[in-house]
Chains A and B, each alone.
Chain A
Amino acid sequence: MDNLHPLESKVLLALIRQPDGPPTLDQLEASTGLEPSQLSMAVEWLLAKSLIAVHSETVAHIASLTPIGELFFEKYAPIERVLSAAREAGQTGKRLTIQDIQVKEALEPSDVSKAVGTLKKEGAILIVQGGCIESTGRNSATAEAMRSLLQELRSGQRELQSFSEPLRNVLQQHAVKRGNAREPFRIDERVTRSFVLTPAGKDVADQLSRDGVAEEVSQLTPELLKEGAWRTKRFRKYTISLRAPRIAAGKRHPYREFLDLVKLKLVSMGFQEMRGTLVETEFWNMDALFMPQFHPARDIHDVYFVKNPTHARTIAEPYLTQVTQVHEKGTGAGSTGWGYTFDAERAKRLVLRSQGTAVSARTLASGASVPGKYFSIARCFRYDQVDATHATDFFQVEGIVLGADINFRTLLGLLNLFAREVAQAKEVKFLPAYFPFTEPSVEMHVRHPKLGWMELGGAGLFRPEVTTPLGVSVPVIAWGLGLDRMAMVALGIHDIRDLFSADLEFIRTMRGSF
Chain B
Amino acid sequence: MPTISLQRDDLEALIAGPDEKPARIPLDQLEQWLMLVKGELKGHNAETGELRIELQDSNRPDLWCCEGIARQIRIKQRGSAISYPFFKKPKGVAGKLVVAQGMDQVRPYVAACTAVGYRVTASGLTQLIQTQEKLADIFGRKRRSVSIGLYRLAPIVFPVSYDLVKPDDVRFTPLGMETMMTLREILMVHPKGVEYGGIVGGHDRLPVLRDAKGQVLSFPPIINSLEIGEVQVGDHELFVEVTGTDLSMVALTLNIFAANLADRGAVITPIDIHSPVKTSFGRRWSTPIDFGAPRTIPLKAIESALGEALGGKEVTSALKSYGYTVKSAGQKVAVQLPPYRNDLLHTVDVVEDVAISQGYARFAPVMPSQFTVGGLSRLEQMADRVRHLMVGLEFQEIISNIMGSHQDFCTRMRLDGTEWAKVVEVDNVMSLSYSCLRQWITPSLLQVEANSSRAFYPHRMFEVGEVAIPEASVDVGSRTVTMLGAVIAHAGAHFSEIHSCLDLLLYYLDRPFTLEPVEHPSFLDGRAGKIVSNGRVIGLLGELHPEVLEHWQIGVPAVALELEIDRLLEEV
Contacts and interface: CB of A to CB of B under 8 A. Distances in A.
Contact of A306 (B308, B366, B427, B459): B427
A383 B376 contact: no
Contacts of B305: 407-408, 440, 461, 475
Given A270-B373, A306-B424, A371-B372, A250 B391 contact: yes
Interface string A295-328: 1110110001111111011100000000000000
Given A279-B476, A279-B478, A502-B448, A432 B35 contact: yes
A339 B380 CA distance: 42
B345 A312 contact: no
B348 to A, nearest CB: 4
B476 A434 contact: no
Contact of B451 (A267, A350, A503): A503
A373 B480 contact: no
Interface in B455-480: 455-456, 458-461, 466, 468, 472, 475-480
Interface in A268-314: 268-281, 294-297, 299-300, 304-310, 312-314
B133 interface: no
Interface in B45-72: 56-59
A251 interface: yes
Interface stretch (A39-47, A108-116, A133-141, A384-392): A384-392
A281 B360 contact: no
B400 A267 contact: no
A409 B363 contact: yes
B294 to A, nearest CB: 13
A405 B145 contact: no
Interface stretch (A158-166, A188-196, A413-421): A413-421
A386 B139 CA distance: 27
Contact of B430 (A295, A383, A407, A507): A383
A171 to B, nearest CB: 65
A352 interface: yes
A246 B348 contact: no
Contacts of B458: 248
B307 A409 contact: yes
B367 interface: yes
A354 interface: no
A398 to B, nearest CB: 15
A235 interface: no
Q: Which of B361, B370, B455 is the most central at the interface, judged by chain A CB atoms within 10 Å of its CB?
A: B370
Interface residues of A, number: 104
Contact of A502 (B36, B387, B400, B454): B400
A393 B477 contact: no
Nearest to B437: A278
A409 B360 contact: no
Contacts of B349: 439
B365 interface: yes
Given A305-B428, A379-B466, A432-B38, A505 B371 contact: no
A144 to B, nearest CB: 73
A440 B322 CA distance: 15
Nearest to A300: B1
B185 interface: no
A372 B179 CA distance: 68
B35 A352 contact: no
Contact of B370 (A300, A310, A339, A371): A371
A440 B355 contact: yes
B425 interface: yes
Contacts of B478: 277-279
B56 A391 contact: no
Q: Which of A306, A314, A386 is the most central at the interface, judged by chain B CB atoms within 10 Å of its CB?
A: A306
A294 B141 contact: yes
A153 interface: no
B344 to A, nearest CB: 8
Contact of B346 (A336, A391, A430): A336
A391 B396 CA distance: 22
B26 interface: no
A75 B545 CA distance: 77
Nearest to A250: B394
A37 to B, nearest CB: 37
Contacts of B403: 352, 381, 392-393
Contacts of B115: none
Contacts of B145: 294
Interface string B350-367: 011001100011011111
Contact of A504 (B58, B365, B448): B448
A253 interface: yes
A143 B476 CA distance: 115
B397 A408 contact: no
B477 A312 contact: yes
B379 interface: yes
Given A434-B58, A464-B346, A273 B380 contact: yes
A199 interface: no
Interface in A412-450: 412-417, 430-434, 436, 439-442
Contacts of A299: 58, 138
Contact of A505 (B36, B139, B366, B452): B452
Given A267-B376, A417-B367, A393 B401 contact: yes
B371 A371 contact: yes
B475 A504 contact: no
Contacts of A272: 372-375
A298 B115 CA distance: 34
B77 interface: no
Contact of A270 (B36, B56, B58, B371): B371
Nearest to A253: B397
A50 interface: no
Contacts of B56: 433-434
A369 B1 contact: no
Given A273-B375, A279-B480, A503 B448 contact: yes
Contacts of B468: 278-279
A409 to B, nearest CB: 4
Interface in A476-492: 477
Contacts of A333: 346
A386 to B, nearest CB: 7
B1 to A, nearest CB: 7
B41 interface: no
Interface in B422-438: 424-428, 430-431, 434, 437
Contact of B360 (A255, A350, A404, A432): A432
A371 to B, nearest CB: 4
B330 interface: no
A363 to B, nearest CB: 11
Contacts of B371: 270, 371
A256 interface: yes
Nearest to A435: B56
Given A281-B476, A296-B139, A407-B307, A415 B365 contact: yes
B395 interface: yes
A146 interface: no
A230 to B, nearest CB: 31
A173 interface: no
Given A392-B401, A503-B451, A350 B138 contact: no
B1 A434 contact: yes
B402 interface: yes
A419 to B, nearest CB: 10
30 contacts: A250-B393, A263-B380, A266-B374, A272-B372, A304-B427, A305-B427, A306-B424, A333-B346, A336-B345, A339-B248, A352-B437, A369-B372, A385-B430, A386-B431, A391-B401, A401-B368, A407-B305, A407-B307, A408-B355, A410-B307, A410-B365, A412-B363, A414-B367, A431-B35, A432-B36, A432-B352, A432-B356, A461-B348, A507-B398, A507-B448
Given A299-B58, A405-B370, A507-B396, 15 more contacts: A255-B399, A275-B380, A280-B476, A294-B141, A300-B1, A306-B477, A337-B345, A350-B476, A352-B403, A371-B370, A381-B403, A403-B370, A406-B368, A412-B365, A439-B351
Q: Which 4 A-B pairs have the closest CB atoms?
A: A407-B307, A504-B452, A409-B307, A250-B394
